[in-house]
Chains A and B, each alone.
Chain A
Amino acid sequence: MSEVNKNEYNHVSEETTVLEINHLYKSFGNNHVLIDFNLTLSKGQNIVVLGKSGSGKSVLIKCIIGLLKFDKGSIRIFSKEIRNLNATALDKIRAKVGFLFQSNALYDSMTVRENLEFPLRRHWIKLSQEKINEMVSQALTDVGLVHTIDMMPVELSGGMRKRIAIARTLILKPDIILYDEPTTGLDPITGREIINLMIEIKTKYNTASLIISHDMNCVKSASDLIIILLEGKCYATGNYQELKSNADPKVKQFFE
């Protein structure tokens, strides 16, 4: 499978490119987090951005989803520049981009069902109740947690919450999913389950994924392409095998 995706990467065509980042700059005061960052994500591709804590990985995906404004450069989602979009147009794009938060961001005051309904009702206000119910149970079936539908998030374990968060991301049938450290804070076995789920989703819905992680298990299993983010730049690019055999000490430190 990784062979196929690699080939896809090598033959980028306009139709399949869903996300394109060119010369992105972002700084907080004197702290330059992103300096001339470039990335291209195609349909059905999993890219892992690897970097140390505080290297600006989270800043990168928050810029993509529009939670943070970037200083310079361009981010194009479905060939649309998001820099100067108004709130309505940005919401339209966001409906097609799923975002899995590091802390899951499940609404504590709502049941699992309400949590899943929330983005549906927000993005597509005119949906019948039957359709919503169907989509909710579909998303819960995908993550294997149908029985939790009327529970509150606090009653769930960490791994279950992560799955519910993924279900909430999936419910909008996004073309791009942004994972912000999906396995952080989970035990290795649960982490493995989540990684398998991510791969499953990719094959099932043919989504493009941008995964931010420093968990090597995740990087190894889920990545088609790895970008090492170092000092605000794309320091190295390649698949797992390529980078593992890379002699550069700065690259090597990630694989030790």
Chain B
Amino acid sequence: MLGQESALRKRNSITKIHRKSMNNSILLKSFFAEVGSLSKFSGKFLSRFFIPPYEINELFKQCYVIGYKSLPLVGLTGFIMGLVLTMQLRPFMIDYGVESQLPAIVGIAIIREIGPVITSLIFAGKIGSSIGAELGSMKVTEQIDAMEVSGTNPFKYLVVSRVMAATLMLPVLAILSDAISLYGSYLGVNIKGDTNFNFFWIQVFDSLEFRDVLPAFIKTYFFGFAVGIIGCYKGYYSSKGTEGVGKSANSAVVVSSIMIFILDLLAVQITELLGFN
């Protein structure tokens, strides 16, 4: 009885391994296929982007939905980030006797890396999923076809406007998030210490240079583009059915979050190459 059971388990495990390796090769293939079609999609975006008519009204509407409506979430996370970072750093700064450098350190950390990346990740979570789900459900319920029938290029109307809105709005959000984060940091400094508001900002600005701000600012455009294009891609090619919609929303968030980190890595290397660091 026992022997039978173990033999059965063994066979099961063998088939499992076999299936796994098959899955892996399929996964790899589908990964490359995905990269390929995503690149094609981006190319399509670029080619459609320059051809009129331009969907200006839709762009404004999407900017409002994607940018303005994300501000509370991004602002809240930014505020907490600044506050927590300051409170966590404080004991170490005191150990090294450089407590007075706290605003400078936090300022650089927030402006250079934490502000853009955390904001982008929150943005990817909120906007990537909503774009993916929205376009996915529009695809499933034939709304995209309906648009095409109604004399509208759905790619321009839906994809170009959303990608543009994401690209333009993320830097705006990141900058505001930086400001809110630094305000949180100011409060963090003031919980245990006592710093004048103006002096805090002077210390922050004093430690910053253009080479800190510019690359961080520019890379958020790329993060925004990545979130927009991946969300649209996943939604636009969503498979039929409600499950497909959920899947496209989910994978939009996952892929764009990974993409943000990859782009961040690229950005740091490019700034290094350009001698900005």
A and B: real partners? yes
User: CA of A107 to CA of B158 in the docked complex: distance in angstroms?
Assistant: 12
Interface flags for A52-63 (1: CB within 8 Å of B; 0: not) read 000000000010
User: CA of A91 to CA of B154 in the docked complex: distance in angstroms?
Assistant: 13
A127 at the interface (CB under 8 A from B): no
Contact of B142 among A91, A97, A102, A118 (CB under 8 A): A102
Q: What's the tally of chain A residues with a CB closer than 8 Å to chain B? A: 22
Structural contact, B142 and A107, CB atoms closer than 8 A: no
Contact of A122 among B134, B141, B152 (CB under 8 A): B152
User: CA of A256 to CA of B273 in the docked complex: distance in angstroms?
Assistant: 77
B63 to chain A, nearest CB (A): 15
Task: Give B134-172 interface residues, CB cut-off 8 Å to A.
Answer: 134, 137-138, 140-143, 145-153
User: CA of A104 to CA of B142 in the docked complex: distance in angstroms?
Assistant: 8
Task: Give A78-113 interface residues, CB cut-off 8 Å to B.
Answer: 87, 91, 94-95, 97, 99, 101-109
Question: Inside 8 A of A143's CB, which chain B residues have their CB?
Answer: none
Q: A105-B142, A105-B143 are in contact. Are A99 and B137 (CB under 8 A)?
A: no
Structural contact, B137 and A101, CB atoms closer than 8 A: no
User: CA of A170 to CA of B256 in the docked complex: distance in angstroms?
Assistant: 41
Task: Give B80-95 interface residues, CB cut-off 8 Å to A.
Answer: none
Task: Summarize B's interface: helix, strand, loop or mixed.
Answer: helix
A65 at the interface (CB under 8 A from B): yes
User: CA of A94 to CA of B117 in the docked complex: distance in angstroms?
Assistant: 45
User: CA of A123 to CA of B149 in the docked complex: distance in angstroms?
Assistant: 10
User: CA of A119 to CA of B137 in the docked complex: distance in angstroms?
Assistant: 20
User: CA of A107 to CA of B147 in the docked complex: distance in angstroms?
Assistant: 9
User: CA of A88 to CA of B258 in the docked complex: distance in angstroms?
Assistant: 40
A67 at the interface (CB under 8 A from B): yes
Q: What's the tally of chain B residues with a CB closer than 8 Å to chain A? A: 16
Question: Inside 8 A of A108's CB, which chain B residues have their CB?
Answer: 137-138, 141, 143
Contact of B151 among A91, A102, A104 (CB under 8 A): A91
Contact of A94 among B137, B141, B142, B151 (CB under 8 A): B151
User: CA of A118 to CA of B140 in the docked complex: distance in angstroms?
Assistant: 19
User: CA of A65 to CA of B148 in the docked complex: distance in angstroms?
Assistant: 10
Question: Inside 8 A of B148's CB, which chain A residues have their CB?
Answer: 67
Structural contact, A123 and B146, CB atoms closer than 8 A: no
A173 to chain B, nearest CB (A): 14
Structural contact, B149 and A67, CB atoms closer than 8 A: yes
Structural contact, A105 and B145, CB atoms closer than 8 A: yes
Structural contact, A95 and B146, CB atoms closer than 8 A: no
Structural contact, B142 and A103, CB atoms closer than 8 A: yes
The chain A residue with its CB closest to the CB of B146 is A105
Structural contact, B151 and A99, CB atoms closer than 8 A: no
B52 to chain A, nearest CB (A): 12
User: CA of A105 to CA of B150 in the docked complex: distance in angstroms?
Assistant: 11
Contact of B149 among A99, A102, A103, A107 (CB under 8 A): A99
B236 to chain A, nearest CB (A): 15
Question: Inside 8 A of A67's CB, which chain B residues have their CB?
Answer: 145, 148-149
B61 to chain A, nearest CB (A): 9
User: CA of A183 to CA of B8 in the docked complex: distance in angstroms?
Assistant: 52
Contact of B146 among A87, A99, A109 (CB under 8 A): A99
User: CA of A87 to CA of B150 in the docked complex: distance in angstroms?
Assistant: 12
A167 to chain B, nearest CB (A): 13
B136 to chain A, nearest CB (A): 12
The chain A residue with its CB closest to the CB of B61 is A109
A98 to chain B, nearest CB (A): 9
User: CA of A102 to CA of B141 in the docked complex: distance in angstroms?
Assistant: 9
| A contacts, CB < 8 Å to B | 62, 65, 67, 87, 91, 94-95, 97, 99, 101-109, 118-119, 122-123
Q: Could you list 12 further interchain pairs (A-B, Cβ under 8 angstroms) beyond the known A87-B153, A122-B151? A: A94-B150, A95-B151, A101-B146, A102-B142, A103-B142, A107-B143, A107-B146, A107-B147, A118-B147, A118-B152, A119-B150, A122-B150
| B contacts, CB < 8 Å to A | 134, 137-138, 140-143, 145-153
The 8 closest A-B pairs by CB, nearest first: A105-B146, A119-B150, A122-B151, A105-B142, A91-B151, A123-B151, A101-B142, A103-B141
16 CB contacts below 8 A, A to B, read A65-B149, A94-B149, A94-B150, A94-B151, A95-B151, A97-B149, A101-B146, A103-B140, A104-B141, A105-B141, A105-B143, A108-B138, A108-B143, A109-B134, A123-B150, A123-B151
